[in-house]
Amino acid sequence: MIIRQFTLRQGRCVIRRNAARQWKRCLASPADSIHQSLQNQLQETRAIESEVNQYSIHHVQTIDAETHAPVETDSIAEDFQELLRQQKVTGSLGTEVAKHYQPHTLISNPPRPSDVTLELLLASQAHLGHNTSLWNPANARYIFGVHDGIHIISLDVTAAYLRRAAKVVSAVAERGGLILFVGTRNGQDRCVVRAAGLAGGCHLFERWTPGSITNGLQILGKCRLKVVNEFDEEIPGFDSQLADRPPLKPDLVVCLNPLENYIMLHECGLNNIPTIGIIDTDANPTWVTYPIPANDDSLRCVQVIAGVLGRAGQEGQAARREAAARNHITYAPAENLKAPQRDTRSKENGDVHADALDAEARQVSRHT
């Protein structure tokens, strides 16, 4: 259809010269001669269309992969078969660009302290600070430079301080300490729960209740306490002795957003509880004991730091259980705990469960 229209519209250019001359002569001829000229013109036009259709068939000149010589094909089926053969030969060539960033892996398989690299921190946007007009002068030693009015955090300092914080978390977990992970911003709940589960500690992803540490007897007085042995197995029989004991205080607090939890950090300072926090360029590094200069607005950066600290706590817990298997206790025993009294009749009857309870009670009296 396209060729026919092209031929009719541009007949002077496509039709041969003699046909064009006949077209000119037919304009001045009588009606019969005009009709005969039109018939001849139509036949010539159809002949030209057939020639164009023959040359417009899809001919693909392929190249042999071995000899690099052109291969002539005669039909569309052969062209398609040749295309499949070339795809089979050259399909394995080249490289595939895989997806490097998978967000769920930072929760399901967080990095370890040994996996901390500058590339990982750079990919997690840990180097991006705030505008230069919002900076805190106390962070001058953590700032690398300025780009487009934004402070750039030195990733060398971030990696060094993150490894130091990981060692602190691992040491506290190895000595049986209680670690509290706090992250109250939107999206931080999953990484906070995951890090606390790895380190065997507690987590908080909602609003901090003021006075939970300084006035813990009134706020957390109804929380249940339990006695465990060196393998974290609960030992029954101590409920009566735990009724009047004050609630436990964390031995270490990891805060992922210190700006929103200043009251909690102040209470930790009043009770000499060490803290670890992510310090951006607009925060005060003196609020926490072990600052980690990084971007606290990037969820990916927060997930990386929380995962590293959670893995560090997991390593500390594993080291503590391994030492307990060698009958070496790494933490001080609990005070004012007495072994539970059992019925003397069960001893006379040779109750095996009662003997095991006595053995566990003796371990608790020494090591818990």
Residues 140, 274, single domain; the answer is yes
Residues 38, 132, single domain; the answer is no
Q: How far apart are CA 198 and CA 106, in angstroms?
A: 13
What domain count does the chain have? 2
User: Are 184 and 264 a contacting pair, CB within 8 Å?
Assistant: no
Question: Residue 248 — left, alpha, or beta (φ > 0 → left; ψ -120 to 50 → alpha)?
Answer: beta
Residues 45, 152, single domain; the answer is no
Buried b or exposed e, range 31-55, using 16+ CB within 10 angstroms: eeeeeebeeebeebbeebeeeeeee
Q: How confident is the model at residue 362 (pLDDT cuts 50, 70, 90)?
A: very low
Residue 368 lies in a domain: no
Residue 338 has pLDDT above 50, yes or no: yes
Residue 254 has pLDDT above 80, yes or no: yes
* Residue 115: per-residue pLDDT: 93
* Nearest residue to 343 via CA among 335, 351, 334: 351
Residues 261, 187, single domain; the answer is yes
Residues 194, 293, single domain; the answer is yes
Q: Which of 299, 315, 331 is the last residue of a domain?
A: 331
Residues 50, 198, single domain; the answer is no
Domain of residue 145 covers 113-213+249-331
Q: Which of 15, 31, 55 is the last residue of a domain?
A: 55
How are beta strands 179-182 and 252-255 bridged, if at all?
Answer: parallel
The tens digit of pLDDT for each residue in 40-66 reads: 777 777 776 665 555 444 444 555 555
pTM over 0.95: no
Residue 313 lies in a domain: yes
Q: Which of 17-21, 261-265, 300-304, 328-332 has the lowest mean pLDDT?
A: 17-21
Residues 180, 323, single domain; the answer is yes
Q: Which of 17, 40, 55 is the last residue of a domain?
A: 55
Question: What residue type is assigned to position 232 of the chain?
Answer: D
Q: How confident is the model at residue 178 (pLDDT cuts 50, 70, 90)?
A: very high
The tens digit of pLDDT for each residue in 126-137 reads: 999 999 999 999
Q: How far apart are CA 261 and CA 251, in angstroms?
A: 17
Percent of the chain with pLDDT over 90: 50
Residue 126 lies in a domain: yes
Residue 77 lies in a domain: no
Q: How far apart are CA 135 and CA 147, in angstroms?
A: 14
Residue 366 lies in a domain: no
- In CATH, what number is assigned to the domain containing residue 305? 3.40.50.10490
Residues paired with 181 in a beta bridge:
203, 254
Residue 341 has pLDDT above 70, yes or no: no
Residue 171 lies in a domain: yes
Residue 105 lies in a domain: no
The tens digit of pLDDT for each residue in 270-316 reads: 999 999 999 999 999 999 999 999 999 999 999 999 999 999 999 99
Angle at alpha carbon of residue 344, lines to 338 and 345, rounded to 5°: 150
Q: Residue 163: phi, psi to the nearest 5?
A: -65, -40
Residues paired with 278 in a beta bridge:
292
Residues 46, 125, single domain; the answer is no
The tens digit of pLDDT for each residue in 227-249 reads: 888 888 888 888 887 877 888 89
Residue 345 lies in a domain: no
Q: What's the whole-number average pLDDT of the chain?
A: 80
